[in-house]
Amino acid sequence: MSEVCARLAAYGLRIDAAGLPERPDAEVAVLLSQRADSMWPWLDRTNEVPPGHVLAAAQVLGRSPHEMVDHLERLGFAPPTVWPEDTDPSESALLIEARHGTLSPNEPVPYAHVFDAARHQNWSLEQTADRLRAYGFGLRLRPPRHFDALDEQLLRRDGPLVWFGVTTADPMPFAHVVAAARNLLEPHSVLVKRLVGYGIKVSCPDLPEGLSFTSAVELLRITEDSDLLLTIDCDIDLHVLIEKAEVMNVPIAQVARWLQNLGLTVPDLTETLQDALERVPRSLSTGCPTPADG
């Protein structure tokens, strides 16, 4: 280790090898690699080690999670602040998301992952949410212990209520509630009340002023003849706003306000229009006299 550090320092690099052994073994390489595979990228000493990394390393090395925590501390890394006593390496899938890797308790968790983890672990949604909280994740979701028919529909990964694009830090977009209410033939107020009962905030308590339920469905159609509705994952640009304004026969600004109130991301109209105008080509010669030509 000292030879490698000296060579790197000679190249002008700053080295932080505090706590590392002179001759790191294979276990150290696994423990300090973010994917527990002895390869780059490596853990950052300035950040707390995510609990999922500890469990993944324990699985790879055939050691207990508590041994991994002790080893990390000896190496000068901060282990997870919240650490349940009954940890099990088989729970690593609960703490590692397919696309984004190891989850951090300091960052939001996609709700789609919560549903996926419940299915992978063969747990109830309530047990999955409780277990994530035990690892320090802030989940407001508190599903009922016993589901009725409406719970079964709303608390499904691929159900009529769209959870994709929504994280534990987000309110449920009212646009998603509108779509679910249409598909379930339930009043949107009933769905809002049920979501609040689960601990889930909704982006607004009711439809925006001046917008009926039927009009909201028309506003949210991806295209005029489509049965699919806009969601938080959809890209809403100036072209979409203009089309919606024509369909609804209202100003573009009104469309933007309605969509924002429904919990969707809408571009700033002033900036968008200025950007569009800047990209309009200017003719080099219009053939028209300038004021100076009089």
* pLDDT tens by residue, 46-70: 999 999 999 999 999 999 999 999 9
Closest CA to 114 of 143, 77, 86, 88: 143
Whole-structure pTM value: 0.85
How far, in Å, are 4, 74, 229 from residue 23 at the CA level? 11, 15, 58
Mean pLDDT of 140-147: 95
Mean pLDDT of 100-129: 94
In a domain, 233, yes or no: yes
**What's the confidence (pLDDT) of residue 225?**
85
How far, in Å, are 7, 115, 133, 238, 250 from residue 56 at the CA level? 32, 20, 19, 45, 54
Tokens 């917008």 found at = 211
In a domain, 203, yes or no: yes
In a domain, 128, yes or no: no
In a domain, 215, yes or no: yes
In a domain, 69, yes or no: no
Res. 260: pLDDT tops 90: yes
In a domain, 289, yes or no: no
In a domain, 213, yes or no: yes
In a domain, 30, yes or no: no
Measured distance CA(92)–CA(168) in Å, rounded:
19
> Which comes out higher in pLDDT, residue 14 or 286?
14
Phi, psi of 284 (to 5 degrees): -70, -30
Q: How many domains does the chain have?
A: 1
Q: Residue 239 belongs to what domain range?
A: 140-279
Tokens 């949210």 found at = 220
